[in-house]
Amino acid sequence: MSHSVTTVNPYTLKNIKTYQVQSKEDVMKALDKSDKAFQKWKLVEIEEKTELLYKVAEILEAKKHDFALLMTQEMGKPISESIAEIEKCMSLCDFYAANAESFLSDDIIETEAYESFISYDPLGTILAVMPWNYPFWQVFRFALPNLTAGNTALLKHASNVTGCALAIQDIFIEAGYPKDVFQTLVAPHETIEELIKNDKLKAVTLTGSEKAGKSIAEQCGNLLKKTVLELGGNNACIVLSDADLDKYLDEMVSARFQNTGQSCIAAKRFIVTEGIYDSFIDQFTKKVRALKIGNPEENDTKISILARPDLAETLKQQIDSSVKAGAHVLFGNDVLDAYFAPTILTNVSPEMSVFKEETFGPVAAIIKVKDEDEAYALATNSRFGLGTMVFTENIEAARKKIIDIPDGAFFINSMVKSDPRLPFGGTKASGYGRELSKEGMLEFLNVKTVLINK
């Protein structure tokens, strides 16, 4: 077992920093400290906790460019998107600072008793297993509501963003959170399995692959521990014949190519009705060709390196097998190490890899359909259930489809995205449970019935 982890800049291929991996004993000590910290932290008044959120936001603002650069250097995200990610974390601080007290306040229920109400109580220490693609946002959307609700947190981040993981721990310390309320673990998966078995750990949230989600769910299921899983996505973007391309085409391009396509909620399958197909292909291709490719540290770069070379290899295999099955490469499909050119595939059908599987990179699969009915039928033909988007001028017709979309989100004339004010999560192979909003804050709380008679 390796005793250190070295982060590498995927664009320059230069080593950034080497970190010591914690021993099993160190990780178990961290859990003990977290459990002890919880006994005091759960008693801290909500006003004090929300004040700390404002301090976190201040630190994020003051060091925004430093954190953004760290993110870009560790996983290759274009710097403009890294800055936007830090700003989104700041908006999350503001949201929970403004709303946590009302979300967590007792719900008075009228019964025959003298008094009855629902109390929302923290569970204890929660483990978060987090991915590299949004290194700050994914962690903050777990940590802020849970810490504010009175839980304590242990973070196991992806090893290629270890610098981000430790920077986040430092942010909470600098903001004034009590020692050990939030701790980053630099530890291998085997140690994390041992951690999960310990009774002091109360629940686990994971954002990552379906395979990792199943493994965590199995472990926690055997121990009857609560989990929230945010897994892969294979979102459909339906483009109906009456869609306003002039107004929404940039949004459709962003829906696929933001974060160099490395997003679970990206539009991965474009299902386009024949009445608008030729126009869509022409305009979409022009927009994709115009995306600036290059150094992620340059402000105008839109597409850069993938986070690791193996991601490019997987993407290439998915495309090659789809082309063998009859897909056409309209544009792109150039690969060099971890670089993958923006790619457009047409003549895609449901049995192909790029239709069935999650493609984690800048590849748009386009499917031509006869009409709206066929479009919706293909959109819901997926093992995944994270989100569906439709572009149309007929809002009322789209509204009637809400009940037919089995996903966690349905966006009309907008790309699927996360927003602090709205719950986020999936169904089917995309996982279960919700993050963000009030729903996300309540996931790891004991919804306790209290009844009092005189």
C-alpha span between 148 and 160 (Å, rounded): 28
pLDDT value at residue 291: 97
**Which residue is catalytic, options 81, 230, 357, 435?**
230
The distance from CA 315 to its chain's CA centroid, rounded to whole angstroms, is: 20
Half-sphere exposure at residue 386, Cβ-oriented, CA atoms within 13 angstroms? 27
pLDDT value at residue 240: 98
Find, among 347, 332, 341, 335, the residue nearest to 310 by Cα.
335
| 51, 194 contact by CB (below 8 A) | no
pLDDT value at residue 337: 86
Q: In what order do the strands lie in the sheet with 115-122?
A: 107-108, 115-122, 445-452
Amino acid at 316: K
Work out the angle at residue 303's Cα, subtended by the Cα atoms of residues 298 and 309, and round it to the nearest 5 degrees: 105
DSSP 377-409: HHHT-SSEES-EEEE-S-HHHHHTTGGG--SS-
Find, among 124, 205, 128, the residue nearest to 168 by Cα.
128
379 is written with which tokens? 């959109």
CB atoms closer than 10 angstroms to residue 454: 5
What residue segments make up the domains of the chain, in order of their start? Answer: 4-231+430-452, 235-419
C-alpha span between 185 and 155 (Å, rounded): 6
β-bridge pairing 335-336 and 339-340: antiparallel
Phi/psi at 330 (nearest 5 deg)? -80, -35
**Active site annotation includes 230:** yes
CATH 3.30.930.10 holds for 4-231+430-452: no
What is the architecture, at CATH level 2, of domain 235-419? 3-Layer(aba) Sandwich (3.40)
| 351, 382 contact by CB (below 8 A) | no
DSSP 312-367: HHHHHHHHHHHHHTT-EEEE---EETTEE--EEEES--TTSHHHHSPP-SSEEEEE
Q: Encode pLDDT of 204-258 as tens digits.
A: 999 999 999 999 999 999 999 999 999 999 999 999 999 999 999 999 999 999 9
Q: Helix 79-104 and helix 137-148: axis angle, to 10°?
A: 20
C-alpha span between 12 and 297 (Å, rounded): 11
C-alpha span between 374 and 380 (Å, rounded): 10
Instruction: Please tell me whether residue 109 adopts helix, strand or coil conformation.
Output: coil
List the end-to-end C-alpha distance of the chain, in Å, as a whole number. 61
β-bridge pairing 182-185 and 115-122: unpaired
Task: Kindly tell me the burial class for residue 435, based on how many C-beta atoms sit within 10 Å of its own C-beta (0-12, 13-18, 19 or more).
Answer: buried
Work out the angle at residue 409's Cα, subtended by the Cα atoms of residues 407 and 414, and round it to the nearest 5 degrees: 130
C-alpha span between 362 and 372 (Å, rounded): 26
**Low pLDDT (below 70) residues in the chain:** 1-2
297 is written with which tokens? 């540290």
DSSP 29-43: HHHHHHHHHHHHHTT
| 274, 243 contact by CB (below 8 A) | no
